[in-house]
Amino acid sequence: MTTKQLALVIDLNVCVGCHACVTSCKEWNNAGEAGPLTDQNPYGKDPSGAFFNRVQTFEVGEFPETETVHFPKSCLHCEDPPCVPVCPTGASYKRAEDGIVLVDYDKCIGCKYCAWACPYGAREMDQQEKVMTKCTLCVDRIYDELLPPQDRQPACVMACPTNARLFGDVHDPESVVSKAIREAGGYALMPEWQTRPANHYLPRRKTGCSE
């Protein structure tokens, strides 16, 4: 637990479902060093494409007692990632220095076994590049010393207009993400599979502004 584990903490109480994180993620990861991250038929009848991040919407409860929950979904950078050991080539790996789960596109043979082995559906095959892709936590941004320090964050975090996305080291008890998890009751998805996701979600809660 002493080594670094970078992660996102996503506040479901704050997310408004604007998809800014989706588009900024796509923009960053389609261009430059990381890209391409291709689409098929983007403006046609049956559009499709690879994304690292999706925002989904759920309705909880029964009308009229319902709540709309916007739910951003990306790779959770599990501490015990089931997608990594199954990879036959070693293209899928978890970095020892910061816990980011990555795919080496030059080693990936596109067998899709890692996607089968991820219960969250966090990996998407790039139909044109024929390799598996997934969230990199913007590994090509967060260590870039040419960027001003405040910009060394994942593109989705930078884009979020409501600050629903926090980024940091969940193994450092004093980090902003650890504090948020501790204070707001952050939880992991599908704990039943013991994947120990590094990303956490902060639950919906009464904000008390009406009192």
Distance CA 182, CA 188 (A): 13
Nearer to other proteins, 101 or 142 (CB): 101
Nearer to other proteins, 16 or 190 (CB): 190
- Name the residue among 189, 160, 161, 164 with its Cα closest to residue 177: 164
CB of 192 to other proteins, least distance (A): 5
Contacts of 142 (CB under 8 A, 6+ apart): 6, 152, 153, 154, 167
Q: How deeply is 211 buried, as exposed, middle or buried, from its count of CB atoms within 10 A (0-12, 13-18, 19+)?
A: exposed
Binding footprint of other proteins on the chain (CB under 8 A): 19, 22, 41, 46-51, 54-62, 68-69, 71, 73, 82, 84-91, 107-113, 115-121, 123-125, 127, 129-131, 187-193, 201, 203-204
**Token output for 30:** 């389609």
CB of 196 to other proteins, least distance (A): 14
Nearer to other proteins, 116 or 143 (CB): 116
CB of 124 to other proteins, least distance (A): 4
Nearer to other proteins, 92 or 142 (CB): 92
